Amino acid sequence: MSLTMPDKEDREIITPALREIAADWSADREVFRHTHWGKAMMWIFLLSDTFIFSCFLTGYMTMRMSASMPWPNTAEVFALTIGGQNIPLVLIAIMTFVLISSSGTMAMAVNFGYRRDRRKTAILMLVTALFGAAFVGMQAFEWTKLIHEGVRPWSNPMGAPQFGASFFMITGFHGLHVSCGVILLLIVASKVARGHYDRTGDYSAVEIAGLYWHFVDLVWVFIFAFFYLW
On average, the pLDDT of the chain sits at 88
Binning pLDDT at 50, 70 and 90, where does residue 202 land? Answer: confident
Among candidate residues 174, 159, 184, the one with its CA nearest the CA of residue 224: 174
Structure confidence at residue 186 (pLDDT): 98
Q: Label each residue of 18-41 as H, E or C.
A: HHHHHHHHHCHHHHCCCCCHHHHH
Residue type, 228: Y
Share of the chain above pLDDT 70, in %: 85
Distance CA 146, CA 149 (A): 5
Rounded to an integer, the average pLDDT of 102-128 is: 96
Structure confidence at residue 30 (pLDDT): 46
Q: Is 121 left (phi over 0), alpha (psi -120 to 50) or beta?
A: alpha
Binning pLDDT at 50, 70 and 90, where does residue 60 land? Answer: very high
Between 23 and 112, the more confident residue is 112
The pLDDT tens digits of the residues spanning 24-47 come to 555 545 445 666 788 889 999 999
Determine if the pTM surpasses 0.85.
Answer: no
Structure confidence at residue 7 (pLDDT): 59
Q: Are 74 and 167 in contact (CB under 8 A)?
A: no
Range of lowest pLDDT (3-17, 86-100, 139-153, 164-178): 3-17
Structure confidence at residue 55 (pLDDT): 96
Among candidate residues 94, 79, 95, 216, the one with its CA nearest the CA of residue 146: 79
Binning pLDDT at 50, 70 and 90, where does residue 13 land? Answer: low
- Decide: residue 110, CB within 10 A, 0-12 exposed, 13-18 middle, 19+ buried: buried
Structure confidence at residue 174 (pLDDT): 97
Instruction: Say if residue 2's pLDDT is above 60.
Output: no
Q: Is 89 left (phi over 0), alpha (psi -120 to 50) or beta?
A: left
